[in-house]
Chain A
Amino acid sequence: MNDGANNKDRKCEIWAIGGGKGGTGKSFITSGIGTYLASKGGRVVLIDADLGGANLHTFLGVSKPINSLTDFFEKKASLKDIIVNCGVSDMRLISGAVGSLDSENIKYAQKLKFFKQIKTIDTDYILIDLGAGSHNNTIDAFLLADKMIIVTVPEITALENMYHFIKNVFFRKLKMTLGAHGMKDIIQDVWKSRETHGIKSLKDLIEYLRGSSIHVREILEKEMKNFKIHIILNQIRSSREIQIGMSVKSVCMKFLGFDARYAGYIEYDDCVLQCINKRQMFILTYPFSHITKAIGKLSENIIDGKQVSANKDEYAYRKI
């Protein structure tokens, strides 16, 4: 789904922001990246796909829009009809404010229709803000993206949930990829009998599958090559914690066995919460703050596929 080939003729790029744990700053970062991209002349549509607790509009400082995904899922409105303006020029919002529904109750057909309509929105960037948890609907929305971004914080619980989330994402992608080639059950079967094959981790599984047949190996090489996760480390409280992002990236590559980039980090600041509570947009209220700059820098890194470079990053000298 995110293999680029399908999306070649569309110039619109989908970014999905997930990460498994709630409260790590996904919505804050989504609104920040959106504002940054809009300020650079891109047209942006934000989609609040955190159906259980949608409040992206609060981060944007606007009141709960009248139209939301409720109308899409329950009243059969089209996505285009529920896009609202949100105070930043060139940035629009599809609110997720859903009362009765959460992401687990969405039917398969509705989900497909949702994904199909997302791809028809006329804009340059679509940012999908995902909820916490690793439900299949969340994962599928994540896999829809051209740029898969995870937000985590330097806390062990957040890291646990994040690993769980990206493992599920990767597993589902594998299943979908092999399923598309008529080998839907192969992973399930191998995974069930993993002990007999000596498979202990996701990386072992990939290696086993690679070795199982040339056909499978070719598919994996072709389809999984583009699987790349962009990591954002939020709420760091000391410059030492910058390295945690590098370490997470290293573990993703060495242990989980897929490509990861450390897009950037954002430091902790009480001002962020104050802004949110006052329903002011942080990035517009403090345009010259380190946080605003960091959001710009990490957005650029995501666009260019670059990352925070180890040890010689200029920021590393800054005392936080």
Chain B
Amino acid sequence: MPIEKYNKYFEALELNQGATQSDVRNAYLYLKALYSNDSIVTSALAYEFSEEKKQSILEEIEDAYARLTEFFESRSDEPVCKEKPSFAGEDEVKEYISGIASFDGASLKQIREKLRVTLKDMAVFTKVRRQYFEDIELERFSALPAEVYLRGYIMEYARYLSLDPVKVADDYMQRYRSDIKAKDKQY
């Protein structure tokens, strides 16, 4: 699909074309909040900022987000397997899992790949956005949603791979929190 067609949507979200799907999501959420709520930035222009103008900007943002989501999801067109994988006959994987003391993004990715499961399979089955799973694996902590949601997504991830959801989520959230804390301290 020609990316040129999508330039104006990236532009509408004030991104350049190198933007990833999580950039798109963040920009969308940010702009949506900016133009649907009042802030000093918009109210300083209030006498010109008509409701319809705001509405049309919001529509533009919504449209851009929908098109770009479509664009990112259409890029991966591998066939989807709708069954949950089973561990039967996967002794090597079982052994690998039992050797993991604490789960992190990389080990989750390893397990998934050893079981030959694609992110898309998981997304279709669990109805959780593919991008979240990818961000979880790559530990892009700043791109991930709020803790309460994140925990749920990780548990979905773990359940799909027949791992212990509570243990995986606890391990992962611990990493997540210490990373956020470290970033706070760093500056």
**Shortest beta-carbon distance, A42 to chain B, in Å?**
29
Q: Assuming A250-B31, A253-B14, is B50 touching A200 (CB within 8 A)?
A: yes
B44, A311: Cβ atoms closer than 8 Å: no
**Quick check: A255 and B34 within 8 Å, CB to CB?**
no
Q: Report if A176 contacts B (CB, 8 A).
A: no
Which chain B residues border A246 with CB–CB below 8 Å? Answer: 30
Q: Which of B23, B43, B45, B184 contacts A317 (CB 8 A)?
A: B184
B41:A244 contact, CB within 8 angstroms: yes
Cross-interface CB contact of A159 among B31, B40, B50, B143, cutoff 8 Å? B40
Across-interface contacts of B48 in A (CB, < 8 A): 200-201, 255
Contacting B at CB under 8 A, from A241-290, are 243-244, 246-251, 253-255
Question: Contacts A156-B43, A160-B44; is A255 near B57 (CB within 8 Å)?
Answer: yes
Q: Which of A121-169 contact B (CB under 8 A)?
A: 154-156, 159-160, 162-163
Asked if B108 is at the interface (CB within 8 A of a chain A CB), the reply is no
Question: How many A residues touch the partner, as a band?
Answer: 20 to 34
Is B27 touching A155 in the complex (CB atoms < 8 A)?
no
Q: Is the CB of A255 within 8 A of B41?
A: no
B14 nearest in chain A by CB position = A250
A312 interfacial by beta-carbon distance below 8 Å: yes
Pairwise interchain contact A201-B41, C-beta atoms closer than 8 A: no
Residue contact A255 to B45, C-beta cutoff 8 Å = yes
Contact with B along A297-320 (1 / 0, CB 8 A): 000000000000011101101110
Q: Is B53 an interface residue (CB 8 A)?
A: yes
User: Which residues on A sit within 8 Å (CB–CB) of B40?
Assistant: 154-156, 159, 244
Closest to A251 in B: B41
A window 228-245: CB within 8 A of B: 243-244
A156 touches B142 (CB 8 A): no
| Alpha-carbon gap, A160 to B44, bound state (A) | 5
Q: Quick one: given A200-B53, A317-B183, are A310 and B27 in contact (CB under 8 Å)?
A: yes
Identify which of B26, B39, B45, B183 contacts A163 (C-beta below 8 A): B45
Q: Write out the residue numbers on chain B whose beta carbons fall within 8 Å of the beta carbon of A255.
A: 45, 48-49, 53, 57
B26 touches A248 (CB 8 A): no
Given contacts A200-B53, A255-B53, A311-B30, contact A248 B41 (CB under 8 A): yes
Pairs A–B under 8 Å by Cβ, sample size 11: A155-B40, A162-B44, A200-B50, A247-B34, A247-B42, A250-B34, A251-B41, A254-B35, A255-B57, A311-B23, A319-B187
Residues of B within 8 A of A (CB): 14, 23, 26-27, 30-31, 34-35, 39-45, 48-50, 53, 57, 60, 142-143, 180, 183-184, 186-187
Interface residues of A (CB under 8 A from B): 154-156, 159-160, 162-163, 200-201, 243-244, 246-251, 253-255, 310-312, 314-315, 317-319
